[in-house]
Amino acid sequence: MTSRMPPAGPGRPLLRVVRGRPGPDELAAATVALLAVLRTRPAPPGAAHPHRPAPAGPSPYTPGTRYRAPGAWTARHRFTHHD
């Protein structure tokens, strides 16, 4: 709270930020309020944790096997002629 602001009370705002001239106390209070709101947001349906993405599924590749490109990437059948 700055010296030019009256103390908060009934009918008076707890936080008042004048555009272009926020004081250190006002910036700190706004930051804390914003972080508190972001922290209490509910997780989207099906999310494992609100701040963590869902775990990845199992990999389709196994160690020791040769990588084989998907069919759209292969040129194996591209130049064959079907008479």
The residue extents of the domains of the chain are 1-6+15-42
Distance CA(8)–CA(15), nearest Å, equals 8
Cβ(69)–Cβ(76) under 8 Å?
A: no
Residues 6+ apart with CB under 8 A from 7: 1
pTM for the structure as a whole: 0.32
pLDDT at 11 over 80: no
More confident residue, 37 or 80: 37
pLDDT at 77 over 60: no
pLDDT in tens, 20-69: 888 888 888 888 888 887 776 676 676 655 556 667 777 777 777 777 76
